[in-house]
């Protein structure tokens, strides 16, 4: 019976990877300037000067390499980061409703980024991501400190604390918007709604590198995270360094969410939708749930961003609005299933 689990899990991973590849292909080919799949396949050879004939027109080449490909890769990185962060938070709290947005981490990261933008003057290239990471880490620490009672953080208490801290951070963002200049106000307003329009090769590669590093670290920690599902005391008896594990994974969550918020603004619910979908496909083993959550999160955000820039073209919807339209009903259904919805 157990021998059937790995093939099923491997099959789910392959299907998710194929779905992500298909979503990535759609994202770079669809838009005001169409690019066919055949042109996409020939584009790298054309770029290297190995093709006999130009695969792309000058307009197509500029759109593909300067706009669509970095934006699609950033959607993969941010979506994967948020999916993995959600899975880590649910594993750490043993709470299937945990999500960086619901528990205040995303709002804290937004507050840190907004503070760096408005109060920090001309922050350097690293100023905004560092401030966002620190803001997310601080709010998560506050939520856990307030919610924990006798070594445990009950689901209703954790959610209420997350909502309260998130509201406090959001009010701080609102105050900073009031203090911002006209230029800062325009940038921050669209940023807080969530958008990948500011994508660049540097940002895309940065968030993909952070995602790859986090997957490598969590891959080594997955067995310990499995033990943590039994409870902190039980995991400690099995030899798991519980406090060190929580610190490492909390810092990773802050890194992933902070970078995502710094580069793309507030995009909610990816971390709520992807991990339960992964567990439905491969079970509760964190060795399979964590990478599959990243794959599903990347696929979800890539498709959401494609819809955001094509549904009302030539205008563009904030992608955070679309993910909220998907995630809010999912969250309500999960609340009802958990017996917390009345």
> What phi, psi does 149 have (nearest 5°)?
-135, 120
Q: What average pLDDT does the segment 245-254 reach?
A: 88
Cα–Cα dist 216/205, whole Å: 16
What residues contact 140, with CB distance under 8 A and at least 6 apart?
A: 103, 104, 105, 108, 250, 253, 254
* Sequence ranges of the domains in the chain: 98-337
Predicted local distance difference test score (pLDDT) of residue 2: 43
Predicted local distance difference test score (pLDDT) of residue 126: 67
> pLDDT tens digit string along 266-295?
898 899 999 999 999 999 999 999 999 999
Predicted local distance difference test score (pLDDT) of residue 4: 43
CB count in 10 Å sphere of residue 85: 35
**How many DSSP H helices and E strands does the chain contain?**
14, 0
DSSP for 102-118?
TTTHHHHHHHHHHHHHH
Has residue 245 got a pLDDT over 60? yes
Cα–Cα dist 305/27, whole Å: 8
> What phi, psi does 229 have (nearest 5°)?
-65, -20
- Note the Cα 92 to chain centre separation in Å: 17
Predicted local distance difference test score (pLDDT) of residue 212: 96
Instruction: Say if residue 314 is preceded by a cis peptide, omega within 30 of 0.
Output: yes
CB count in 10 Å sphere of residue 98: 27
Q: For 98, which DSSP code? A: -
147 contacts 93 by C-beta, under 8 angstroms: no
Please name which of 291, 304, 323, 281 lies closest in space to residue 23, comparing C-alpha atoms: 304
CB count in 10 Å sphere of residue 145: 10
Handedness of CA 293, 92, 162, 334 (dihedral sign): positive
> What phi, psi does 338 have (nearest 5°)?
-85, 0
What residues contact 126, with CB distance under 8 A and at least 6 apart?
A: none
Has residue 339 got a pLDDT over 70? no
Predicted local distance difference test score (pLDDT) of residue 121: 62
91 contacts 228 by C-beta, under 8 angstroms: yes
Has residue 66 got a pLDDT over 90? yes
What residues contact 225, with CB distance under 8 A and at least 6 apart?
A: 88, 91, 92, 218, 245, 249, 286, 290
Residue 189 pLDDT level (bands cut at 50, 70, 90): confident
Has residue 183 got a pLDDT over 60? yes
Residue 14's alpha-carbon distances to 19, 21, 146, 266, 325, in angstroms, are 9, 10, 41, 29, 28
Q: What average pLDDT does the segment 290-315 reach?
A: 94
117 contacts 124 by C-beta, under 8 angstroms: no
Higher pLDDT, 71 or 157: 71
What mean pLDDT value characterizes the chain?
Answer: 87
Has residue 301 got a pLDDT over 80? yes
Least confident of 119-128, 191-200, 320-329: 119-128
Cα–Cα dist 134/146, whole Å: 18
Has residue 5 got a pLDDT over 80? no
Least confident of 18-32, 117-131, 205-219, 294-308: 117-131
Least confident of 149-158, 200-209, 213-222: 149-158
For the chain, percent of residues with pLDDT exceeding 90: 47
Residue 153 pLDDT level (bands cut at 50, 70, 90): low
Cα–Cα dist 339/186, whole Å: 41
Q: Does domain 98-337 have CATH number 1.10.3470.10?
A: yes
255 contacts 133 by C-beta, under 8 angstroms: yes
Predicted local distance difference test score (pLDDT) of residue 152: 67
Predicted local distance difference test score (pLDDT) of residue 73: 97
Predicted local distance difference test score (pLDDT) of residue 124: 56
Q: For 52, which DSSP code? A: S
CB count in 10 Å sphere of residue 160: 14
Higher pLDDT, 337 or 168: 168
For the chain, percent of residues with pLDDT exceeding 70: 92
291 contacts 221 by C-beta, under 8 angstroms: no
């Amino acid at each position: 019976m157990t021998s059937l689990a790995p093939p099923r899990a491997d099959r789910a991973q392959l299907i998710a990877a194929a779905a992500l590849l298909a979503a990535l292909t759609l994202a770079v080919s669809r838009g005001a300037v169409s690019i066919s799949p055949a042109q996409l396949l020939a584009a790298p050879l054309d770029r290297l000067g190995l093709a006999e004939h130009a695969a792309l027109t000058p307009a197509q080449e500029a759109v593909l390499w300067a706009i669509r490909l970095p934006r699609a890769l950033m959607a993969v990185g941010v979506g994967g980061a948020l999916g993995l962060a959600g899975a880590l938070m649910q594993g750490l709290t043993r709470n299937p409703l945990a999500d960086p947005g619901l528990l205040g981490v995303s709002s804290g990261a937004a507050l840190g980024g907004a503070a760096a933008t408005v109060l920090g003057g001309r922050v350097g290239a690293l100023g905004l991501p560092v401030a966002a990471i620190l803001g997310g880490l601080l709010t998560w620490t506050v939520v856990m400190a307030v919610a924990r009672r006798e070594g445990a953080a009950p689901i209703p208490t954790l959610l209420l604390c997350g909502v309260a801290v998130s509201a406090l951070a959001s009010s701080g963002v609102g105050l900073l918007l009031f203090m911002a200049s006209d230029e800062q106000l325009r940038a921050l307003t669209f940023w807080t709604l969530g958008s990948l329009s500011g994508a660049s090769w540097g940002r895309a590669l940065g968030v993909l590198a952070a995602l790859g590093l986090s997957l490598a670290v969590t891959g080594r920690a997955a067995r310990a995270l499995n033990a943590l599902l039994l409870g902190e005391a039980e995991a400690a008896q099995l030899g798991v360094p519980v406090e060190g594990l929580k610190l490492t994974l909390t810092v990773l969550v802050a890194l992933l969410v902070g970078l995502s918020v710094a580069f793309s603004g507030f995009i909610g619910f990816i971390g709520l939708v992807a991990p339960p979908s992964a567990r439905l496909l491969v079970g509760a083993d964190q060795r399979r749930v964590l990478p599959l959550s990243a794959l599903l999160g990347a696929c979800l955000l890539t498709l959401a961003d494609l819809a955001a820039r094509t549904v009302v073209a030539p205008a563009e919807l904030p992608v955070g609005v679309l993910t909220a339209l998907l995630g809010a009903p999912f969250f309500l259904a999960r609340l009802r299933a958990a017996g917390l919805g009345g």
